[in-house]
């Protein structure tokens, strides 16, 4: 498919303080050497840039990290009005016989009825397998239908090398698998699409239910500055993994580490990567959320152009102590075809920082563009001949 590109900026310079450490370049080029975590990827959400990756496209079994997708799907359905937080769901006795007390749990009993909000707290804080099953069956009618919805949502957000066979990551003979890159996409979608629900349901150190208090094993929440999630996981085959996030000074990083042979190794590697990501890079603001970046051409609409807005505050992430060239380009399959909805994702901003992998962030239509009538299409066609 043909892409239309607009070069927005040829060069953005960074004025560096004279107080920068002399070894800043060495800091950037020396990420944490935690080889025991065989899989790793670190992404800055303000720019979409990958700061470091190791085997990010290798498939592995995510175990309980799967529950992140269950929570995300629930958030999406709540946003769409298909699910309510105060909606009550019952632990079916047949499901209890299979899942009651299995693995990490809220200690639910057969016949228990809980609101969706309580189930989500159990899933996000104490990794409750039973709560995941109750939510899945209560919402979709069956685990098979829920996992179908999980996989459809995964494809929607670009998780091209992942598949889910359960709502909770319980071993299923390898039918559930992910990659680090795909998990980073899931973490980004979770935080960016649902910031308020993310803040409400993630980032709690413990949960008390029925007088039983259980801890959250997440190595970020309450343990590193700005840490607020997301989910750990373990299988004998894949080892210990973690999808995590933290925010400091307006920058939010998403991290995946996996393949560690002990929880201490996983936790140490995750924290080291996070600190390196915050210390070895700095952020240069480019656009405010909602700022018009470019005009896109429209075909068959009442208007021939539509403004493209930044869907979020956008920055470029730069290696500390360096002044690399930054190139920006708007990319879309064009011209865009009407009708177009205000807020619709219709284009991407590509950020290319010298020496780093290019990244893309979504741009939204700034207004509705209705389909043109016959007369308007004729007029637009004539005008098109004259540019």
The domains of the chain, with CATH numbers, are 33-279 (3.40.710.10), 285-385 (2.60.410.10)
Q: DSSP label at 227?
A: E
E strand residue ranges, the chain: 4-9, 39-44, 49-54, 88-90, 113-115, 206-209, 212-215, 227-235, 239-248, 251-260, 281-287, 292-299, 305-310, 314-319, 326-332, 336-337, 345-353, 359-365
Side-chain-side CA neighbours of residue 96 (13 Å)? 12
What is the pLDDT averaged over residues 114-139?
Answer: 98
Query: DSSP characters for 261-280?
Result: SSHHHHHHHHHHHHHHHHHS
**Using CA atoms, how far apart are residues 190 and 71, in angstroms rounded to an integer?**
9
**Using CA atoms, how far apart are residues 119 and 232, in angstroms rounded to an integer?**
18
E strand residue ranges, 113-238: 113-115, 206-209, 212-215, 227-235
Exposure string of 119-153, with b = 16+ CB inside 10 Å and e = fewer, is bbbbbbbbbbbbbbbbbbbbbbeebeebbebbbeb
* pLDDT at residue number 385: 52
Cβ-based burial of 285 (10 A; exposed 0-12, middle 13-18, buried ≥19): exposed
* pLDDT at residue number 26: 54
What is the pLDDT averaged over residues 247-267?
Answer: 95
Q: Which residues are 208's β-sheet partners?
A: 213
Q: Tell whether the model's pLDDT for residue 4 goes beyond 90.
A: no
34 pLDDT tier (thresholds 50, 70, 90): low
User: How close are the terminal C-alpha atoms of the chain, in Å?
Assistant: 22
Q: Tell whether the model's pLDDT for residue 19 goes beyond 50.
A: no
* pLDDT at residue number 97: 97
Q: Write the CB contacts of 18 (distance below 8 Å, at least 6 apart in sequence).
A: none
What is the pLDDT averaged over residues 43-49?
Answer: 97
Q: Tell whether the model's pLDDT for residue 31 goes beyond 80.
A: no
Q: Tell whether the model's pLDDT for residue 235 goes beyond 90.
A: no
pLDDT higher at 201 or 26: 201
* pLDDT at residue number 27: 52
Residue 210 structure tokens: 């029925």
Exposure string of 339-359, with b = 16+ CB inside 10 Å and e = fewer, is ebeeebebbbbbbbbeebeeb
What is the pLDDT averaged over residues 257-283?
Answer: 95
* pLDDT at residue number 184: 98
Q: Tell whether the model's pLDDT for residue 294 goes beyond 50.
A: yes
**Using CA atoms, how far apart are residues 158 and 253, in angstroms rounded to an integer?**
19
Q: With contact defined as beta carbons under 8 Å apart, do 295 and 306 qualify?
A: yes
Q: Tell whether the model's pLDDT for residue 212 goes beyond 60.
A: yes
Q: Write the CB contacts of 109 (distance below 8 Å, at least 6 apart in sequence).
A: 91, 96, 100
* pLDDT at residue number 387: 52
Q: Is the bond preceding 127 in cis, omega lying within 30 degrees of 0?
A: no
For residue range 307-366, list pLDDT tens digits in order: 999 999 999 999 998 999 999 999 999 899 999 999 999 999 999 999 899 999 999 999
* pLDDT at residue number 15: 31
Q: DSSP label at 66?
A: G
For residue range 162-176, list pLDDT tens digits in order: 999 999 999 999 999
Q: Tell whether the model's pLDDT for residue 144 goes beyond 60.
A: yes
What is the pLDDT averaged over residues 251-256?
Answer: 97
What is the pLDDT averaged over residues 19-25?
Answer: 43
What percent of the chain is predicted at pLDDT more than 70?
88
pTM given for the model: 0.89
For the chain, how are helix, strand and coil distributed in percent, rounded to 5?
Answer: 30, 30, 40
């Amino acid at each position: 498919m043909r892409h239309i590109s607009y070069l927005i900026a040829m060069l953005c310079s960074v004025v560096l303080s004279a107080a920068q450490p002399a070894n800043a370049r060495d800091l950037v080029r020396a990420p944490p050497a935690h080889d025991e975590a065989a899989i790793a990827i670190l992404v800055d959400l303000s720019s979409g840039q990958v700061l470091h990756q190791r085997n990010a496209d290798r498939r592995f079994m995510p175990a309980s990290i799967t529950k992140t997708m269950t929570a995300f799907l629930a958030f999406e359905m709540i946003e769409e009005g298909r699910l309510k937080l105060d909606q009550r769901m019952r632990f079916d006795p047949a499901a209890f016989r299979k899942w009651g007390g299995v693995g990490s749990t809220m200690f639910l009993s057969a016949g228990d009825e809980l609101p969706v909000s309580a189930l989500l707290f159990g899933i996000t804080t104490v990794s409750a397998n039973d709560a995941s099953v109750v939510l899945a069956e209560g919402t979709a009618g069956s685990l098979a239908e829920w996992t179908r919805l999980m996989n459809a949502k995964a494809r929607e957000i670009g998780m091209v090398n992942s598949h889910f066979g359960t709502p909770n990551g319980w071993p299923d003979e390898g039918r559930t698998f992910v990659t680090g890159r795909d998990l980073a996409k899931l973490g980004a979608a979770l935080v960016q699409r649902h910031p308020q629900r993310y803040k409400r349901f993630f980032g709690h150190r413990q949960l008390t239910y029925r007088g039983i208090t259980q801890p959250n094993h997440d190595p970020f929440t309450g343990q590193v500055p700005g840490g607020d999630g997301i989910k750990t996981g373990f299988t004998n085959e894949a080892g210990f993994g973690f999808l995590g996030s933290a925010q400091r000074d307006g920058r939010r990083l998403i991290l995946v580490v996996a393949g560690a042979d002990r929880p201490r190794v996983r936790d140490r590697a995750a924290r080291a990567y996070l600190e390196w990501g915050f210390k070895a890079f700095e952020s240069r603001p480019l656009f405010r959320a909602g700022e018009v970046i470019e005009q896109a051409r429209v075909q068959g609409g009442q208007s021939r152009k539509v403004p493209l807005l930044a869907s979020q505050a956008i920055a470029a992430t730069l290696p500390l102590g360096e002044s690399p060239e930054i190139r920006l380009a708007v990319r879309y399959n064009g011209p865009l075809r009407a009708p177009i909805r205000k807020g619709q994702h219709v284009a991407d901003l590509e950020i290319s920082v010298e020496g780093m992998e290019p990244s893309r962030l979504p741009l939204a239509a700034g207004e509705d563009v209705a389909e043109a009538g016959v007369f308007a299409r004729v007029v637009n066609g004539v005008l098109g001949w004259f540019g």
